[in-house]
Amino acid sequence: MPITKKYKKIVIGNWKQNPTTHEAAKNIVKHIKKTASELKKTITVLCPPFVFLQNLGKGEQPFSKGAQDVSVFESGSHTGEVSAEMLKDCEVEYTIVGHSERRKAGETDAMVASKIKALHFAGVTAVMCIGEDNRDSGGQYLDTLKNQIKHSLAGVEKKNLSHLVVAYEPVWAIGATQAMSGADVHETAIYIKKVLADLFGHEYVVKVPILYGGSVTFRNAGEIVKEGHVDGLLVGRESINPEGFNEILKVVDAL
Ligand code: 13P
């Protein structure tokens, strides 16, 4: 499901390296399905670890399937890697790239760019994560964001921007106790849009959804999306807590 006139918002659950068993994965899906099927304006995307992708079911579902990473290679001798075509074959529609936890493990902007191109070639939407480690009063973090956007999108074609989502996740707000304020999210989202427009032209980027991620709960979800003027959320911890995630979905859909 792409963002359309009808589906205006998108909430992505990044399960990270959770849960431990197939049974538990199935249980999460079971508890989210009903709420997801009742949403009027919001797309739900679930990104489990690769091994649980099949647990999300086959065919029509009230949510879209997502992955947390992808290989830069098409196929061949790359032990441990999973290709974009394999994900496509598992009915994956969205894939997270450049998450700060992967960047910490060595993923560079150049690798992110290769992954996005591999996803586009396979027809999968890339969810490109960007975010500064810290905020400084001199505004240096804005350059960090600009460089990440520029280099992670190097060689990406304008015509494929319909298959791009940008997730702004300030690293300091991930796994924290407090999310960023809606007003600060808004300011940063404007900046991200401006950088994208300077690179590709306004007409190509108006439809690129901008999401916020970092300590999102049902308590702050509404304020972040409304005051932050973003197109949705990338949720970590609360995405494996069905009750909390369902509430986030409902809050966003009611906006
Ligand atoms: P938390 O929601 O647990 O802070 O994680 C955010 C995140 O990294 C989502 O990709």
Q: What is the pLDDT of residue 3?
A: 66
DSSP, res 42: E
CB within 8 A of 101, min separation 6: which ones? 16, 174
> Collapsing DSSP states into helix, strand and coil, what is residue 229?
coil
Ligand 1: nearest atom to the Cα of 101 = 8
Flag whether the pTM goes above 0.95.
Answer: yes
Residue 145, pLDDT score: 97
Q: Decide: 49 and 87 in contact? Cβ < 8 Å.
A: no
Residue type, 234: L
pLDDT of res. 86? 97
Q: Low-confidence residues of the chain, pLDDT below 70?
A: 1-6
The one-letter amino acid code at 99 reads: H
Out of 10, 11, 12, 14, mutate this one to test ligand 1's pocket (max ligand atoms within 8 Å of CB): namely 14
Going by C-alpha positions, the residue among 55, 31, 122 that lies closest to residue 82 is 122
The active-site residue out of 85, 93, 99, 238 is: 99
Distance from residue 76's CA to the centre of ligand 1 (Å): 32
Is 229 among the catalytic positions?
no
Query: What are the tens digits of pLDDT across the range 17-61?
Result: 999 999 999 999 999 999 999 999 999 999 999 999 988 888 789
Protein residues whose CB sits closer than 6 Å to any atom of ligand 1: 14, 99, 169, 174-175, 213-216, 234-237
SS3 state at 125: strand
Instruction: Please tell me the distance between residue 213's alpha carbon and the centre of ligand 1 in angstroms.
Output: 6
Residue 78 falls in the annotated catalytic set = no
Q: What type of residue sits at position 255?
A: L
CA–centroid distance for 141 within its chain: 21
